[in-house]
Amino acid sequence: MAAGYVTRTMRPDEVALAIEWAAQEGWNPGLHDAQTFLAADPQGFFVGTLDGEPVASVSVVRYEPGFAFLGLYIVRPGWRGRGLGWALWQHGMASAAGRLVGLDGVVAQQANYRRSGFELAWRNVRYEGRGGGAAPADARLVDLAGVPFEAVRACDAACFPAERSAFLRAWLAQPDAAARGWIEDGRLQGYGVVRRCRSGWKIGPLVAGSEAVAEALFLALCAPAGAAEPVYLDVPEPHAAAVALARRHGMQVVFETARMYTGRAPAVPLDSLYGVTTFELG
């Protein structure tokens, strides 16, 4: 290992640096991802510094119970191929000892992740389309701010394998975003969030109990973006109805990731998950 290389937990003000590096890699983060990601686990972000200069990052956000998600694994150009990223990877993974760990990695790195104990569960596919249009004129479509948080948490828990209330509260309240829900028979039967990113908008999560609810929420979430602005939806590839939703609206595949876990994939009902929250946090 290079002399003068140190791996440590990031200070809160340093997380924005990792987000900036992600933008430079073309990952198109949200405008407020640093703040919302920190809400999930303030101690879950790590940096490698060489003679005091930050050169590598990784996040291993710990959820309860027994689950963690790895992301933001970046080594700055010019410092790659020297083992700096691997040392930081080991540091971050050590913080999640005893937990099931997931990640969304570029497919080209799948073999490397397998050597670190990860196994492919499925692929997530990023679709790009255009925003605009009008939200459906239906009383069942509501602003999520008027829905009790516990109802949203319960809806989210059906599609995420761990408790993440702190993150969810921050995600729903972030600026430059919109959150919509579908209330029917007195129950929240789906919800979604769209946030402004460095380029365009990303929808995520998009959770719905039926294709019709997913369709209505999708249209409502596209509406805040201008007609000329790109909108992205990250779809679990095995969910045929989610893929059909994206294609029906003329969206095109622009990216994909390998969803991998260090053990058996959690029993998440993909038939309700139309859009992944974020590739960095799951």
pLDDT for position 3 = 87
H/E stretch holding 37 reads helix 33-40
Query: 219-256 burial, b if ≥16 CB within 10 A, otherwise e?
Result: bbbbbbbeeebbbbbbbbbebebbbebbeebebeeebb
Query: 55-75 burial, b if ≥16 CB within 10 A, otherwise e?
Result: bbbbbbbbbeeebbbbbbbbb
Per residue in 75-126, pLDDT (tens digit) is 999 999 999 999 999 999 999 999 999 999 988 889 999 999 999 999 999 9
pLDDT mean over 207-223: 98
Report the C-alpha gap between 212 and 101 in whole angstroms. Answer: 33
For residue 278, the SS3 value is: coil
pLDDT mean over 146-171: 97
Please check the confidence at residue 48 and state whether its pLDDT lies above 90: yes
Name all domains of the chain by residue range, CATH numbers in brackets. Answer: 5-103 (3.40.630.30), 126-275 (3.40.630.90)
Whole-Å CA distances, 92 to 22, 77, 113 = 18, 20, 14
pLDDT for position 1 = 66
Higher pLDDT, 22 or 3: 22
Task: Read off the pLDDT band of 64 (50, 70, 90).
Answer: confident
CB 130, CB 230: distance < 8 Å: yes
Query: How much of the chain is helix, strand and coil, in % rounded to 5?
Result: 30, 35, 35
Report the C-alpha gap between 179 and 234 in whole angstroms. Answer: 17
CB 214, CB 220: distance < 8 Å: no
pLDDT for position 2 = 81
Mean pLDDT of the chain: 96
Look up residue 115 and give its two tokens.
């050597």
Look up residue 82 and give its two tokens.
């020297």
Report the C-alpha gap between 278 and 59 in whole angstroms. Answer: 13
Per residue in 28-43, pLDDT (tens digit) is 999 999 999 999 999 9
Whole-Å CA distances, 102 to 55, 142, 145, 212, 263 = 24, 32, 30, 30, 9
- In the chain, the percentage of residues whose pLDDT exceeds 90 is 95
| Cα 18–chain centre separation | 15
Start-to-end CA distance of the chain, whole Å, equals 31
pLDDT for position 268 = 87
Per residue in 238-281, pLDDT (tens digit) is 999 999 999 999 999 999 999 999 999 999 889 999 999 999 99
